Amino acid sequence: MDWKIFLTVFASIFIAELGDKTQLATMLFAADRDTSKFDVFIAASAALVVATAIGVLAGSLLSEYIDAKYLQYVAGIGFIAIGAFTLYNAYTG
């Protein structure tokens, strides 16, 4: 295992997921006193694993047809666009 890649991906995803809608939804499900916290943990974990598997599969398939450098450009532009949109909404809202 390449620990540098592992730690980079782990840190990036961990930071990105903190406080997002997925975490908030999971907290709401876990807040229900009649719901098993273990069941919420297993279901949320399984959903994240499946979503991540789809992302890895899509990235693998796209990389066969598109150079990884261009995929990084598209991802970077996408993140900048989302950030600009968020800043615009915060400013105008």
Q: What is the pLDDT of residues 14-56, one digit of tens each?
A: 998 888 888 999 999 999 999 999 999 999 999 999 999 999 9
Angstrom distance (rounded) from CA 16 to CA 9: 10
pLDDT at site 44: 95
The tally of domains found in the chain comes to 1
Q: What is the pLDDT of residues 55-87, one digit of tens each?
A: 999 989 999 999 989 988 998 999 899 999 999
Containing structural domain, residue 71: 3-92
Angstrom distance (rounded) from CA 12 to CA 37: 26
pLDDT at site 20: 85
> pTM for the full model?
0.69
Q: Is the torsion defined by CA of 88, 79, 58, 56 positive or negative?
A: negative
CB atoms within 10 A of CB 26: 18
pLDDT at site 19: 81
pLDDT at site 17: 86
Q: Is the torsion defined by CA of 57, 62, 63, 69 positive or negative?
A: negative
User: Are 29 and 35 in contact, with CB atoms under 8 Å apart?
Assistant: yes
Angstrom distance (rounded) from CA 24 to CA 18: 9
